[in-house]
Amino acid sequence: MSVMPVVGIDDLAIYVPKLYLDYKDFAEARGIDPQKLEYGIGIKKMAIADTNQDSACMAANACLKLMQKNHLHPEDIGRVYVATESSLDESKAMNSFVIGMLEQIYGEGSFEHAGGIECKFACVSGSYALYDNANWIRAEENNGKAAIVIVSDIAKYDMGSTGEYTQGAGAVALLIRENPRLMAYDPKVPSTTIKNEYDFYRPFGKETPLVNGSYSNLLYLISVRKAFDLYKEKAIKTGLIKLKDGESITDHIDYFAVHLPYRKMGEKALAYLLRHEWRHLPRWKHVIKEIGMQEPQPKDPRGTIESILADTEFMKADEQFRRAFMQTSFYNEVYEKKMASSLEASAIIGNLYTASMYMGLRSLLEFEFKKGIDLEGKRIGFGSYGSGSSAMVFSGIIQPQYKEVVSKMNLDEDIGPRQKLSMEEYERLHRNERTFKDSVIRAHKEFVLVRLGGNTADKAGFR
Ligand code: HMG
């Protein structure tokens, strides 16, 4: 019997637009307490795309960076996937636009031997794309070639809505190959859930989504928890994780990287998961003692999300309990050790939809490494969520060669110098009042839109 190849993420590259909105300016203009944005949501700067950028340009920029820094040529790549919810065409896939741009550098037809599709399922699709490509390599159908998965999005909400302070934009390109330097996937354990939901969606032709904010928050938590339960079952069954009495599976996961629509959501997701996992363990009585109150129960524990949200007495008590739990030494120890570093980038970039969790991974690796921690052999547990809705939980182990990649990571340098937008400039951009010719800043060695008409690949140029 042949041994299954070790496959995972070898390297990643990011692209973040050079414009941003400062939370204090935003709070003042909208009459919101800035403390709500800084601490309640966890945002300081939101990346905003310029008029000469779309999600395909950002994807191509991230991909080019990844290829250049790894001295890759198109013949080294067998697949280029793009996962996005900022699609440009109902039928032409975004990866074809991206390849069109890359051909300007590498020559026409240079990727003709490769394959790939555009994937859509709100923010979770990048995780499905990674999973499919890892399996393509495991199946040894790759002929020695690597796969690139790009996650790229512009998160734009209605002006004046509560979603407006969870905007952002950017792309992450991930290199998937055998014997990866960064992280090898744990095989046989990825787990998913899927359900027809309307927590967040964007009908055809509409630029901004329709959102049920509180519903989406709770659905995210429940969906990831359910996928985590399935992951746990598989991890125990396959012997990947062996639980001793009184242990939680969360004790066997060294880091958590979850979908980050905003920083605070990561913190809440960790709290929800720990509560769920620890509730039946001996340590819970010590947690309860520190909190000083019992965990509230909904009137109908098997009720729907609507009925739980409508149970206002429970919701109020549960919020109070959750906040108190997040103040405990138990939560804070796990949070500081296993999650905080993954949230750094989110606070200065914002929601990147498909790219959010992978920007979180990048943030986690860089900031933990900078603390001087040896990351080799550490397990990262991922909680990916996409509205509509589907969750995917999987894990991976940081590989011995990670230092080669991580020691060169510098988020500030990678983002590059950014220009702060005034609220007036931001609102003009939001209303699409400027054209691509009238961009706020000039392009610097990157793909941008340079012509009108045709498709993005024809319109984009390297400037
Ligand atoms: P909101 O109305 O701002 O919520 O909407 P809030 O009033 O509950 O306030 C948020 C937090 O700020 C609370 O903290 C407040 O206490 C706190 P918490 O109770 O949670 O700990 N706060 C303050 N803190 C300090 N000082 C103050 C203050 N005032 C209040 N003065 C919401 C928030 C996220 C719902 C909204 O921004 C929204 O609708 N966003 C868009 C949807 C979204 O991001 N949903 C997340 C889950 S779904 C998902 O992640 C998928 C998604 O990425 C799409 C995809 O999959 O494609 C969205």
CA 446, chain centre distance (Å): 23
Closest-lying ligand 1 atom to the alpha carbon of residue 214: 35
Regarding the beta carbon of 162 and ligand 1, being less than 6 Å apart is answered yes
Regarding the beta carbon of 35 and ligand 1, being less than 6 Å apart is answered yes
**Distance between Cα 114 and ligand 1 center (Å):** 41
SS3 annotation, 8-36: EEEEEEEECCCEEEEHHHHHHHHCCCHHH
pLDDT above 80 for 55 = yes
**Distance between Cα 216 and ligand 1 center (Å):** 10
ipTM value, please give it: 0.98
Regarding the beta carbon of 85 and ligand 1, being less than 6 Å apart is answered yes
Radius of gyration, CA atoms only, the chain = 22
* Token representation of residue 83: 């996962």
Regarding the beta carbon of 161 and ligand 1, being less than 6 Å apart is answered no
pLDDT above 90 for 456 = no
Regarding the beta carbon of 128 and ligand 1, being less than 6 Å apart is answered no
- Sign, Cα dihedral of 41, 44, 50, 56: negative
Indicate which residue's Cα is closest to atom 5 of ligand 1.
162
Closest-lying ligand 1 atom to the alpha carbon of residue 200: 54
Tell me the average pLDDT of the chain.
96
Q: How many CB atoms lie within 10 A of CB 243?
A: 13
CA dihedral 185, 122, 391, 168 (to 10 degrees): 80
Regarding the beta carbon of 385 and ligand 1, being less than 6 Å apart is answered yes
Pocket-testing residue among 124, 156, 166, ligand 1, by greatest number of atoms within 8 A of Cβ: 166
Regarding the beta carbon of 395 and ligand 1, being less than 6 Å apart is answered no
Closest-lying ligand 1 atom to the alpha carbon of residue 386: 56
Alpha carbon distance 198, 388 (integer Å): 5
DSSP single-letter state for residue 422: P
pLDDT above 80 for 24 = yes
Going by pLDDT thresholds of 50, 70 and 90, the confidence category of residue 242 is very high
pLDDT in tens, 426-443: 999 999 999 888 999 998
Regarding the beta carbon of 36 and ligand 1, being less than 6 Å apart is answered yes
| Per-residue model confidence (pLDDT) at position 458 | 64
CA 400, chain centre distance (Å): 24
- Of 9, 3, 14, 2, residue with least CA distance to 359: 14
Strands 460-462 and 447-449: antiparallel
Regarding the beta carbon of 438 and ligand 1, being less than 6 Å apart is answered no
Pocket-testing residue among 158, 206, 217, 327, ligand 1, by greatest number of atoms within 8 A of Cβ: 217
**Distance between Cα 337 and ligand 1 center (Å):** 24
Indicate which residue's Cα is closest to atom 54 of ligand 1.
387
Indicate which residue's Cα is closest to atom 21 of ligand 1.
40
Regarding the beta carbon of 216 and ligand 1, being less than 6 Å apart is answered yes
| Per-residue model confidence (pLDDT) at position 203 | 97
Regarding the beta carbon of 123 and ligand 1, being less than 6 Å apart is answered yes
**Distance between Cα 261 and ligand 1 center (Å):** 9
pLDDT in tens, 316-329: 999 999 999 999 99
Q: Mean pLDDT across the stretch 48-61?
A: 96
Q: Mean pLDDT across the stretch 58-63?
A: 98
Between 278 and 3, whose confidence is greater? 278
Indicate which residue's Cα is closest to atom 9 of ligand 1.
40
Regarding the beta carbon of 386 and ligand 1, being less than 6 Å apart is answered yes
Least confident of 59-73, 188-202, 276-290, 429-443: 429-443
pLDDT above 90 for 453 = no
Regarding the beta carbon of 217 and ligand 1, being less than 6 Å apart is answered yes
pLDDT above 90 for 232 = yes
**Distance between Cα 38 and ligand 1 center (Å):** 12
| Per-residue model confidence (pLDDT) at position 446 | 95
| Per-residue model confidence (pLDDT) at position 1 | 60
| Per-residue model confidence (pLDDT) at position 2 | 72
pLDDT in tens, 167-181: 999 999 999 999 999
Least confident of 38-42, 117-121, 133-137, 441-445: 441-445
- The DSSP line for 314-381 is HHHHHHHHHHHHTTSHHHHHHIIIIIGGGGHHHHHH---GGGHHHHHHHHHHHHHHHTT---TT-EEE
- The DSSP line for 227-271 is HHHHHHHHHHHTTSS-PPTT--GGGG-SEEEE--SSHHHHHHHHH
Q: Mean pLDDT across the stretch 182-199?
A: 98
**Distance between Cα 306 and ligand 1 center (Å):** 18
pLDDT above 60 for 454 = no
Residue 213 and residue 305 in contact, taking contact as beta carbons nearer than 8 Å: no
Which amino acid is residue 270, in one-letter code?
A: L
Which amino acid is residue 327, in one-letter code?
A: Q
pLDDT above 60 for 455 = no
